[in-house]
Every structure is written in C-alpha cells, then in structure tokens.
Amino acid sequence: MEKVPATERDVVRDLAKQVRDLAHSPAMQSLRERWRRHNAGEPTEPLVFLENGILADQFLPSPRCRHPLALDMERRLSEILYMDREVGDDRIVPTVYPVPYWPDAGLFAVQAGRRTAEDRLGLHFGYQVEHPVHDLAADWPRLRPAVRRPVARDLEGARRQAAEADDLLGGILPAAPEHHSFTWHFGLTGHLVWLMGMEAMFVALMETPDLLRRALSDLVDLLLSALEEHEEGGALTLNNGHHYAGSGSLGCTDQLPAAGHAPGQVRSRDLWGNSNSQETVGVDPSAFRDHFLPHYRRLAERFGLLYWGCCEPVHTIWDYGLKDLPGLRKVSISPWCDERFMGSALRGSGIVYARKPSPNFVGVGAYDGEGLERHLQATMEAARGCALEISFRDILSLHGEPSRARRAVEAVRRAAARHWQP
C-alpha cells in the first residue's frame, strides 16, 4: 500500500489527540464508573446509548483524507468525536484505537443463499432467503461442518492492521485488535431459521420435535466448537470496557474478566455473551421452555455474564425459565414487551432493565418529541427501582435533521429528571 501523505497523517493524528484527551478526561472516568455500577445491577440514574451505525453517513463531514487507511481512520475517529460532542449520549470513548476483526466462525459447509433488493435509500435491508434444509429428516444429516480458516491467519492479519494503524497514529493512541465474530453469533434459533425457514421450524416443532431438538443440539455443538477454537487460538479479546456487549449496550464492568484470567489468554468465561430467540415469538412459552431453552442454557454456561434479547418480548417466557439462565445480567425490554411486568420482575434482582424505545418517534416522519417523552415517562415509571438503560436502535434515517439524535438523548435526560426514582 502506498505511503500515507503527510497532510493526511496530520489529519488522523490531530483527531487521535482529541480522542485521547477525551478518553482520559475526568468526565469519561466518571462515566466509566457509572457504567460499572450500572452493570453491577445498581439502580443509578438511567444511562442512554444511541446506536449510530448506518446513521454516520447522515451526519459526518466530508472527509479530508483519500488514502484508504487514513480515510477509514479519519472516519472512525471523527465518528467518536461527533457522537460525544453533538449527540451527547453515554457511550464510552476508548483509550485505544480499536481494530475490529472477524475470525472465521462458520458452522456448516453449505450456507443459505440470500437475494436482496435495493430500497429508495440505496439500502439492502429486504431480502429473500434460499434455505438449504427443506426436510429435516432427509436434509439435516447431509449437512457437513464448515472447514474454517485457521484462527492464526485471521489473528495475524488483525495484528498487521493494528501495526499499520499504530504507525500512522505515531504513539498517540495504541491500536488494539478487537474480536467481533461473536457479537451476534449466539442467537441459536436465528441460525436454525436461516437454514430451514420459520414455517418449517414451527412444523417440525409439532410433527418431529425429537428431530428439532437434535438439530438444535448439533447447532450448539458447532457454535461451541467455534468458540473453543477461537479461545484456544488466542483470538478472543475482552469486551468489558467501551465495548458493544449485547443488543445496543455497553459492557463496562469490573466483574470481568473472571478469576484466573491471565493477560493475553482470554477465555469465554471472561466475556459477555449475547443471545436471543426472536424467531420463537409465536411458540408457546412451555414449548420454548421444553424444546429450546435447554440449548440456550448450554451456550449461556460458557460466558461470564449474559445479555439476553433483541426485539422479542421477554415477559412471556420470563417465568418459564428465562430468568434462571446462568450469568444473566441484562434483559432487552423491546417495544413489544410488557414493561410493568418486567419492572416488577427485575426490581431488586440485579438484572439490568435494558429498554429499547420505539424508533418511530425519531426516525419515521416528523420528529415526535411529545410522543417520545410520554413513551419514556411510561418506562421511567415501570422501571423504578431497577438498573435502567435506554438504547435507541433501528433508527434508519434522521430525515436530513442530524439534531434529532441529540434531541432524543435530551428527551431521556428530561424524562429521567422528571420521573425517575431509583
């Protein structure tokens, strides 16, 4: 790769200095302590996190760099600064420059196909899945485990990228590889539906439940084999700091890594796990308990702490064994969840009430501040006495008004000031 021009190197280093100073500021140190207390289950003042993701293209300034490495680093550093200064949520600014990498965690040699269509925004969210399993009895035994790339190859590549970033940063921020393969990898029924389709899964639950349980067990075996392979290969990295841990949440905690951890030897029990079962919303709670939950338990047992849930309502299965998952520390309270039920269930439990407000108030049509504040008031009242966090997710457009992001965060602050009682 050609050398980064001096002018672009200076752009990156100037941004890195700003990020470094912010990361080490007293305000950020205080915020880390708030997250540590919160993630220990203490009902402090609610924390708010706005997931930017795709929104970055809607607010970042035009780049000054053109070299591929400098351009990528400029964008990522600018995004950190923008989110802190212009949005003002409670995200933690890292003391390192993260270099994400994705070691191979493939499960089967045959994968589902996907056909996409572009929407009016040029995005490819809609798709049709081409499932490789049509008959569980006939097709499942034919599936063969994937032959994964050696972990060492991916780790070597990540270290090389970190060294390149380090060279460009000139010692201002240390670059550090971050393992990202398992961020969303342990949604067990998501893998199953990807392979066979939701209707086929429901039919199998009724007609061939033994085969369904066998398929789920096979999937867990493959998921755990990938986890063990990455652990033994030294590829795992801690997610107990500024890291995304769960569905729109941060993992800052002093309860990880687990006892016996040695630097450079990260084990699965040193990590947050993230799991969900959105695909079983239509399954009777007792059937979920009997046919699905034992397999999720096998996954949960491997991690130090567990975040459960995404968009599915959890109140229906809470008393059917979900509450007893090993290491459970955070539960997603989606827009479809019975908030008052979950507030009562989580109050005093030490399990975090991780609320997802509806994104419609911010990202659909005109900004509806009054509706959002009523929505948030209901949450503040339902979650009294809980460790509460508010995570804005699935906001796909700011409709040319970047200030909507800050206004949403400020709405949470106002609602907390008026209605929150720890």
Cα(141)–Cα(244) distance, rounded to whole angstroms? 36
- Phi, psi dihedral angles at 90 (to 5 degrees): -100, 35
Number of domains in the chain: 1
The CATH number linked to 347 is 3.20.20.210
270, part of any domain: yes
Are 151 and 229 spatial neighbours (Cβ–Cβ below 8 Å)?
yes
- Stated as kind and residue range, the H or E segment containing 218 is helix 209-232
The per-residue pLDDT for 1 is 64
30, part of any domain: yes
Query: 3-class DSSP state for residue 180?
Result: coil
Pick the closest to residue 146 from 190, 98, 191, 116 (CA basis): 191
Cβ-Cβ contacts under 8 Å for 142 (sequence gap 6 or more): none
Residue 111 predicted with pLDDT over 90: no
241, part of any domain: yes
Mean per-residue pLDDT over the chain, rounded: 95
Helix, strand counts (H, E) of the chain: 14, 10
26, part of any domain: yes
| DSSP one-letter string for 71-140 | HHHHHHHHHHHHIIIII--SPPPPSSEEEEE------BSS--EEEE---TTS----EEEE-S-S-HHHHG
Cα(376)–Cα(416) distance, rounded to whole angstroms? 8
184, part of any domain: yes
Residue 124 predicted with pLDDT over 80: no
CB burial of 196-215 (b: ≥16 within 10 Å; e: otherwise) equals bbbebbbebbeeeeebbbeb
187, part of any domain: yes
Residue 36 predicted with pLDDT over 90: yes
Cα(308)–Cα(343) distance, rounded to whole angstroms? 16
Tens digit of pLDDT for each residue in 152-176?
A: 999 999 999 999 999 999 999 999 9
Cα(48)–Cα(249) distance, rounded to whole angstroms? 9
What is the rounded (10 degree) CA torsion for 146, 149, 150, 152? Answer: -140
347, part of any domain: yes
Looking at residues 183-211, what average pLDDT do you find? 96
Token pair 């567990």: residue: 306
1, part of any domain: no
Which residue segment(s) compose the domain that 180 sits in? 6-419
The per-residue pLDDT for 119 is 78
